[in-house]
């Protein structure tokens, strides 16, 4: 089955759902607010939306309250910018995009509260705000030519359009790992270049001249693809699947044929892709780290105690389950005991964090469409 039809976050409101396990994404969204502020002020200075309709697209929006948090943050900043420039606030068109399996129904149920809060807090100071869903892959066209002022995407662009080809020898791994053959790293890097270049090219057609993009995605801190912040998390999940193979709960052939469709680029790969594609100017690039467990606010210690490792391992496993469960069940079938798998994953994470507290490395970029 095509990836576009099966990739989505865990739906519903259960304890393992994405709706209940998206604090990490919320943390990252909040860290992007200063960049949003600066970018929107730049758009306003070019007078391309003032007194009209500000058109926003949130790509890979997900299905939790974070989605409407992004819209709220953008609207707040736009209204403040208009106030500073003695302009009437524009109308807003917010387009929420994700793949077809996304839980859009959950988003629609949140809209009445969103609209009520907007009216309560902004009153007559804001024009109509129209929110709509645009299902489909952002590796294809989504919007008419020159129809968007701002494209936002958080924790989505690191997902690839497909699993790279020619990596059948990445046995017992599910992502580039320290034990992967060189061709695996090369295939993943190539697929990222193809996909990110295509993403930029498509968005350049849909964004007005002078419009902007703000993208936050997972990356790695150094060029070496075997770095811990690239490999370690998924090595722990692969080890958990290997444990199930040894116990006869998963077929080894199924593990050998499973690879994740995502890639963590280094900063140079991102810069090179933007420069070579040529449609956008890179205005700003910043990086920041967040702990695997978003509830862990300790950025001083480089490892956890045993007790803390268990707690942080459990929270991290819940977050990763919300992101990967649909992919796992699609590949391994409903016979896989997901609960047992993530119990093993918790244990491996706890052991890893007790020795080395590895963190997510995030890349935040703002881009302006060239003249």
Could you write out the three-class secondary structure of the chain? CCHHHHCCCCCCCCCCCCCCCCHHHHHHHHHCHHHHHHHHHHHHHCCCCCCCEEEEEEECCCCCHHHHHHHHHHHHHHHHHHHHCCCCCCEEEEEEEECCCCCHHHHHHHHHHHHHHHHHHHHHHCCCEEEEEEECCCCCCCCCCCCEEEEEEECCCCECCCCCCCCCCCCCCCCCCCCCCHHHHHHHHHHHHHHHHHHHHHHHHHEEEEEEEEEEEEECCCCCCCCHHHHHHHHHHHHHHHHHHHCCCCCHHHHHCCCCCECCCCHHHHHHHHHHHCCEEEEEEEEEEEECCCCCCCCCCCCCCHHHHHHHHHHHHHHHHHHHHHHHHHHHCCCCCHHHHHHHHHHHHHHHHHHCCCEEEEEEEEEEECC
36-49 tens-digit pLDDT: 888 888 777 666 66
218's CB contacts (< 8 A; 6+ apart) are 155, 158, 262, 264, 360, 361, 362, 363
pLDDT at 31 over 50: yes
Bridge partners of 130, per DSSP, are 93
255-302 tens-digit pLDDT: 898 899 999 999 999 999 999 999 999 999 999 988 888 888 877 777
pLDDT at 10 over 70: no
Question: What is the predicted pLDDT for the residue at 280?
Answer: 95
pLDDT bin (cut points 50, 70, 90) of residue 355 is: confident
Question: What is the predicted pLDDT for the residue at 6?
Answer: 46
Q: How far apart are CA 18 and CA 62, in angstroms?
A: 8
For residues 33 and 366, is the Cβ–Cβ distance under 8 A?
Answer: no
203's CB contacts (< 8 A; 6+ apart) are 138, 151, 213, 279
For residues 20 and 190, is the Cβ–Cβ distance under 8 A?
Answer: no
Question: What is the predicted pLDDT for the residue at 55?
Answer: 92
Q: How far apart are CA 337 and CA 343, in angstroms?
A: 10
pLDDT at 341 over 80: yes
The number of beta carbons lying within 10 Å of the beta carbon of residue 135 is: 14
pLDDT bin (cut points 50, 70, 90) of residue 182 is: very high
Terminal-to-terminal C-alpha distance of the chain: 40
Q: Name all domains of the chain by residue range, CATH numbers in brackets.
A: 3-369 (3.40.50.150)
35-94 tens-digit pLDDT: 888 888 877 766 666 558 889 999 988 776 777 888 888 888 888 888 887 778 888 899
Question: What is the predicted pLDDT for the residue at 12?
Answer: 46
Q: How far apart are CA 50 and CA 101, in angstroms?
A: 35
Please, how many CA atoms are within 13 Å of residue 335, restricted to the half-sphere of its CB? Answer: 8
Report the predicted TM-score, pTM, of the whole model to 2 decimal places.
0.89
Q: How far apart are CA 24 and CA 291, in angstroms?
A: 9
User: Mean pLDDT of all residues in the chain?
Assistant: 85
126-172 tens-digit pLDDT: 778 889 999 999 999 999 999 999 999 988 999 999 999 999 999 99
Nearest to 76 by CA among 126, 30, 142: 126
For residues 211 and 150, is the Cβ–Cβ distance under 8 A?
Answer: yes
Could you tell me the strand order of the sheet in which 148-154 lies?
A: 129-135, 91-98, 53-59, 148-154, 207-219, 359-369, 280-291
Give CA separation, 208 vs 216, 366, 369, in Å.
Answer: 21, 15, 8
Could you write out the three-class secondary structure of 36-67? HHHHHHHHHHCCCCCCCEEEEEEECCCCCHHH
Pull the structure tokens for residue 105.
């129904």
């Amino acid at each position: 089955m095509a990836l576009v039809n099966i990739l989505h976050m865990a739906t519903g409101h259960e304890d393992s759902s994405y709706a209940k396990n998206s604090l990490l994404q919320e943390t990252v969204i909040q860290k992007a607010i200063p960049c949003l502020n600066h970018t929107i002020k730049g758009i306003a200075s070019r007078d391309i939306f003032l007194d009209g309709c500000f058109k926003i697209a949130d790509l890979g929006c997900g299905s939790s309250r974070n989605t409407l948090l992004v819209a709220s943050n953008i609207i707040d900043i736009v209204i403040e910018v208009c106030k500073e420039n003695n302009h009437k606030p524009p109308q807003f068109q917010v387009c929420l995009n994700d793949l077809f399996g996304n839980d859009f129904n959950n988003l629609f149920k949140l809209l009445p509260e969103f609209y009520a809060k907007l009216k309560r807090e902004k009153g007559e100071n804001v024009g109509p705000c129209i929110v709509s869903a645009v299902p489909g892959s952002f590796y294809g066209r989504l919007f008419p030519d020159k129809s968007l002022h701002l494209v936002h995407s958080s924790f989505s662009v690191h997902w690839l359009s497909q699993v790279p080809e020619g990596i059948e020898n990445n046995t017992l791994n599910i992502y580039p790992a320290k034990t992967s053959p060189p061709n695996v790293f090369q295939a993943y890097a190539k697929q990222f270049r193809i996909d990110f270049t295509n993403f930029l090219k498509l968005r350049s057609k849909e964004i007005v001249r002078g419009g902007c993009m703000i993208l936050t995605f997972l990356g790695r801190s150094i060029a070496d693809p075997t770095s811990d912040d690239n490999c370690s998390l998924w090595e722990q999940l692969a080890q958990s699947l290997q444990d199930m193979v040894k116990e006869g709960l998963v077929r080894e052939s199924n593990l050998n044929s499973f690879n994740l469709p995502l890639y963590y680029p280094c900063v140079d790969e991102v810069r090179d892709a933007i420069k070579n594609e040529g449609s956008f100017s890179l205005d700003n690039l910043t990086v920041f780290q967040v702990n695997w467990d978003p509830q862990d606010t300790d950025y001083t210690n480089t490892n956890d105690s045993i007790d803390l490792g268990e707690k942080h391992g459990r929270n991290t496993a819940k977050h990763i389950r919300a992101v990967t469960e649909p992919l796992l069940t699609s590949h391994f079938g409903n016979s896989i005991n997901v609960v047992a798998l993530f119990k093993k994953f918790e244990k491996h994470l706890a052991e890893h964090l007790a020795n080395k507290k590895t963190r997510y490395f995030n890349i935040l970029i703002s881009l302006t469409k060239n003249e």
